[in-house]
């Protein structure tokens, strides 16, 4: 068995490798790939195969994917370049004779009109036309999109957004990674599109209320018009394009497009997904630990 994990230098890819190891997959059966091999050294020290692969460099992908049986394609992070990069990965997996490519897409990819989803929709179409068996791991938001800013929310007493009363089925990266590992090691996932998200969708006002309850500091949700939200995000130093895409994603959240009641995440990982209250408690503990 040769299981390729792309983006292993990043957070989701790394957690997927860790999950495979926890599941008892022999380290030598796992190939962790990425652009920055120094980030993969500790995995190499544990017996994981480590190979250089750049989505933009088809030759590197061909070499890295030699002997590939199943491949996890972690969606890239360069707006404007992703679809061609993903095409390169899919073609390399096909040419290596892989029997499955699992792709980290976005929840409700078939119906959402969020700008963020366009690359995912294009990549899903590429996979469908590639002839390679595929699985779509359609992830909703990470809890970490919010918990990473917990200290900022506490400092300002506010969570800003433009999602109104929309509910998001967020989950931890670790849970999405466990689902990816389950698909890489399990059978019968070919042709499936999993709508992945937490079991307890929440509004951003409920997020603020949970933070308030646990931290003992008042944090309120302030709902902004979309353009103002984009301006506020850009004001934090974020590139304007990214700010616009994130404010647009909040409109998707508002419309319910980041919500799923599929139960697919809990089904794949064989337990309930981590709860929002647990994610906040863990982050608060981290903030308070000197
Ligand atoms: N669902 C959500 O809430 C959410 C939130 C943010 C992002 N995402 C998407 O989910 C993906 C994984 O999330 P994450 O948290 O693991 O992000 P991350 O920590 O930024 O990791 C992204 C990974 O993609 C790799 N990558 C990007 N371009 C590449 C290229 N040209 N060649 C090879 N590797 C490349 C990065 O490699 P380097 O280390 O070399 O940069 C890194 O390993 C993101 O890339 C993004 O598409 C989803």
Is any atom of ligand 1 closer than 6 Å to the C-beta of 7?
yes
Q: Is 21:87 a contact under the CB 8 Å cutoff? A: no
Q: Give the closest residue to 86 by CA, choosing from 141, 6, 185.
A: 6
- Domains defined along the chain, listed by start: 3-140+172-196+261-274 (3.40.50.720)
| C-beta contacts of 130-133 below 8 A and 24+ residues apart | 130/90, 130/91, 130/94, 130/101, 131/94, 132/90, 132/93, 132/94, 132/98, 132/100, 132/101, 133/99, 133/100, 133/101, 133/190, 133/191
pLDDT for 187: 97
Q: What would the 3-class secondary structure string for 28-66 be?
A: HHEEEEECCHHHHHHHHHCCCEEEECCCCCHHHHHHHCC
pLDDT for 145: 97
pLDDT for 80: 87
Residue 170 alpha carbon, nearest atom of ligand 1: 3
Query: Would you write out the chain's pLDDT as a tens digit for each of its 290 residues?
Result: 799 999 999 999 999 999 999 999 999 999 999 999 999 999 999 999 999 999 999 999 999 999 999 999 999 999 889 999 999 999 999 999 999 999 999 999 999 999 999 999 999 999 999 999 999 999 999 999 999 999 999 999 999 999 999 999 999 999 999 999 999 999 999 999 999 999 999 999 999 999 999 999 999 999 999 999 999 999 999 999 999 999 999 999 999 999 999 999 999 999 999 999 999 999 999 998 87
pLDDT for 1: 75
Is any atom of ligand 1 closer than 6 Å to the C-beta of 9?
yes
Is any atom of ligand 1 closer than 6 Å to the C-beta of 52?
no
pLDDT for 144: 98
Q: How far is the CA of 246 from the centre of ligand 1 (A)?
A: 16
Pocket perturbation via mutation, ligand 1, pick of 74, 102, 238 by most ligand atoms within 8 A of CB: 74
Consecutive H or E run containing 23: none
Q: Is 279:147 a contact under the CB 8 Å cutoff? A: yes
**For residue 208, how many C-alpha atoms fall within 13 Å in the half-sphere facing its CB?**
20
Q: How far is the CA of 36 from the centre of ligand 1 (A)?
A: 13
User: pTM (2 decimals)?
Assistant: 0.98
pLDDT for 43: 98
Is any atom of ligand 1 closer than 6 Å to the C-beta of 139?
yes
Is any atom of ligand 1 closer than 6 Å to the C-beta of 66?
no
């Amino acid at each position: 068995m040769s299981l390729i994990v792309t983006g292993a230098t990043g957070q989701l890819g790394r957690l997927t490798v860790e999950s495979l190891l926890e599941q008892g997959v022999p380290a030598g059966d796992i190939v962790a790939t990425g652009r920055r091999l120094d980030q993969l050294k500790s995995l190499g020290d544990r017996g994981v195969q480590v190979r250089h692969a750049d989505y933009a460099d088809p030759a590197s992908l061909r070499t890295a994917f030699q002997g590939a049986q199943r491949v996890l394609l972690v969606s890239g992070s360069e707006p404007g370049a992703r679809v061609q990069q993903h095409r390169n990965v899919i073609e390399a997996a096909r040419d290596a004779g892989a029997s499955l490519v699992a792709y980290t897409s976005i929840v409700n990819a078939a119906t959402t009109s969020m700008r963020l989803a366009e690359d995912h929709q294009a990549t899903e179409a590429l996979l469908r036309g590639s002839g390679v068996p595929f699985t779509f791991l359609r992830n909703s938001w990470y809890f970490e999109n919010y918990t990473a800013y917990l200290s900022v929310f506490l400092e300002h007493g506010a969570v800003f957004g433009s999602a109104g009363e929309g509910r998001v089925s967020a989950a931890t990266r670790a849970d999405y990674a466990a689902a990816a590992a389950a698909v890489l090691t399990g059978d019968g996932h070919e042709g499936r599109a999993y709508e992945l998200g937490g079991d307890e969708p929440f509004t951003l006002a409920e997020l603020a209320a949970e933070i308030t309850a646990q931290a003992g500091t008042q944090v309120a949700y302030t709902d902004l018009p979309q353009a103002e939200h984009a301006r506020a995000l850009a004001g934090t130093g974020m590139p304007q394009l990214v700010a616009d895409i994130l404010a647009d994603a909040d409109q998707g959240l508002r419309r319910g497009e980041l919500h799923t009641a599929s139960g697919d995440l809990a089904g794949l990982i064989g337990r309930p997904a981590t709860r929002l209250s647990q994610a906040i408690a863990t982050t608060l503990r981290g903030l308070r630990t000197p």
